[in-house]
Copies of this chain bind each other. A is one copy, B any other.
Amino acid sequence: MMECNDKNVMAPGSVVGIIGGGQLGRMLALAAARLGFRVHIYCAAENSPAFEVAAKHWCAPFDNKQQLQDFANSCDIVTYEFENIPLETVRVISAITPVLPDINALNITQDRLHERAFLTTNSLPVAPFMKVDNKEDLAKAIGRLGNQTILKSRRFGYDGKGQIALSSATLSPPDVLAEIGNQPAILEQKINFDREISVLVLRSANELENYDICENLHLNQMLRRTRVPATIDPDIEQQAILMAQEITIAMDYVGLMAVEMFYCPDNEEQPLIINEIAPRVHNSGHWTQDGCIIDQFENHIRAICGWPLGSTKRHNDVVMTNLIGEDILNWQEYAGNTDSCLHIYGKKEPRQGRKMGHLTTLLPLTYSKPPSGSDENNVVQLKPSS
């Protein structure tokens, strides 16, 4: 069998464990298989999409210590597809097998307050914010930051869940808090941004890399489209990359990280504000599957396995469109779209708001930036599904 003297380098044939069995876990598993790894999945949900492409899976709750240990013992290295894993789950696994990105990255990113504190400590730009534990805190924060603000739960926020904009709310402070489940939260100043960009940055023990910056279009607080290249100035681009790299260095991070930023060209002093850090492969990086030599999934696996990073070079302009809920019923139309690649996640029911697949449309490589507002050119039009 293939072997490697360096215990931090996983030889082909090693077992890569993945916590979480959704579409990100599934695409990570497919990428790991390409490199000759065996994949084991741990997920609490039955019929998880990643189970179907893995050598072995555990379907058990995240607090089942016995099952976690059994899983950990079967793996040479473990990673995850989402950041809201109980830290105790990771501690149980880490006691047996290395987990990368490490628990520190999870601890910071799964709590908005920790994340904001970490960024501020490292002199990285975030929107002005205040901690909100109760209605008194909230009243004080509104007094300080005004009502052009957003209340965000500290934990388990994604796709706009656990968020409420105070500017549009007609509720009293206690009611606003109740609206997000009376959880610990932060109040954050609303940023008037021109566009949201993602920086996909990669770090391994010896290398630091990034993909071209892309920009995101949200609809109903969910990512709808990502396009690359982003419409931003080259010097801003450079600034964004440096900021994302700084985060990975400060965390001593290993793997792919997505950093979402707001681009505010009117604010000359601080045109970039960091919105969120995801310590994992990310929806805004799906375009790399069909637009780059080596995609975010394989490069994440390479990084955590101690391999050299693969080329992040881009060979096409790309527009990635999420297929959400009943969009997927039009799969035949998407499948027939020339110069597009269709990805379907194998989920059984197309529930509303559920990510069912995505479509990447490949356009000629421009190198130069597209004119502002041309987002919809040459891209498949989404039909409302009735």
A251 CB contacts on chain B under 8 angstroms: none
A158-206 contacts to B (CB < 8 Å): none
A35 CB contacts on chain B under 8 angstroms: 335, 342-344
Tell me if A302 is interfacial: C-beta within 8 Å of chain B: yes
CA–CA, A53 to B31, complex, Å? 11
CB distance from A30 to the nearest CB of B (A): 5
Tell me if A315 is interfacial: C-beta within 8 Å of chain B: yes
Q: Is the CB of A343 within 8 A of B39?
A: no
- Stretch of A5-13, A62-70, A74-82 lying at the B interface: A5-13
Q: Is the CB of B348 within 8 A of A1?
A: yes
Count contacts on A: residues with CB < 8 A to the other chain.
53
CA–CA, A331 to B307, complex, Å? 10
A4 CB contacts on chain B under 8 angstroms: 332
Q: Is the CB of A313 within 8 A of B332?
A: no
Q: Which residue of B lies closest to A55 (CB)?
A: B52
Q: Is the CB of B335 within 8 A of A307?
A: yes
A329 CB contacts on chain B under 8 angstroms: 2
Q: Is the CB of B12 within 8 A of A331?
A: yes
CA–CA, A13 to B328, complex, Å? 12
Tell me if A121 is interfacial: C-beta within 8 Å of chain B: no
CA–CA, A140 to B320, complex, Å? 64
CB distance from A70 to the nearest CB of B (A): 19
Q: Which residue of B lies closest to A33 (CB)?
A: B53
Q: Is the CB of A33 within 8 A of B346?
A: yes
Which residues of A pack against B, CB within 8 Å?
Answer: 1-2, 4, 9, 11-13, 26, 29-30, 33-39, 51-55, 290, 293-294, 302, 307-308, 310-311, 313, 315-316, 328-329, 331-332, 335-336, 338-346, 348-350, 357, 362
Extra contacts besides A35-B342, A311-B339 (20): CB < 8 Å: A2-B329, A9-B332, A12-B344, A30-B34, A33-B346, A34-B343, A34-B344, A35-B343, A35-B344, A36-B343, A36-B344, A38-B346, A52-B54, A53-B53, A307-B332, A308-B332, A308-B335, A310-B335, A310-B341, A315-B316
